């Protein structure tokens, strides 16, 4: 398992469109991917789960991935959430 805690740097946080993009990015990987924030753990490939987190800019979130491409999955989501890739 690979884990990393990141601070969200998306200007509008994770509203509908950014969540959809995040779910698309997560779904490109074979690994199981979860995001953890404030005691909630949700499947990053689930749009409803991701919307339930209600994450805003500046909040910390832990990305967890487990599987054949776990490192690449964590890196991909980290790049997106920190605004280094859109």
16 or 47, greater pLDDT? 47
Sheet order of strands, 2-7 included: 2-7, 60-66, 32-37, 40-43
Express each pLDDT in 66-85 by its tens digit.
999 999 999 999 999 999 87
Please report, for the chain, the start and end positions of each structural domain, with discontinuous segments joined by +: 2-81
**H or E stretch covering 57:** none
pLDDT at 11: 81
- For the chain, the residue count is 86
Domain covering 2-81: architecture? 2-Layer Sandwich (3.30)
pLDDT at 86: 55
Q: Which residues 6+ apart lie within 8 Å of 53 measured at CB?
A: 14, 35, 37, 40, 42, 61
Express each pLDDT in 19-67 by its tens digit.
999 999 999 999 999 999 999 999 999 999 999 998 899 999 999 999 9
């Amino acid at each position: 398992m690979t884990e990393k805690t990141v601070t969200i740097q998306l200007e509008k946080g994770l509203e509908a469109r950014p969540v959809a993009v995040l779910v698309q990015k997560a779904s490109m990987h074979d690994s199981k991917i979860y995001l953890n924030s404030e005691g909630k753990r949700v499947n990053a490939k689930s749009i409803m789960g991701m919307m339930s987190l209600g994450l805003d800019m500046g909040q910390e979130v832990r990305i967890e991935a487990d599987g054949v491409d776990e490192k690449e999955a964590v890196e991909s989501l980290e790049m997106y959430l920190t605004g280094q890739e859109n």
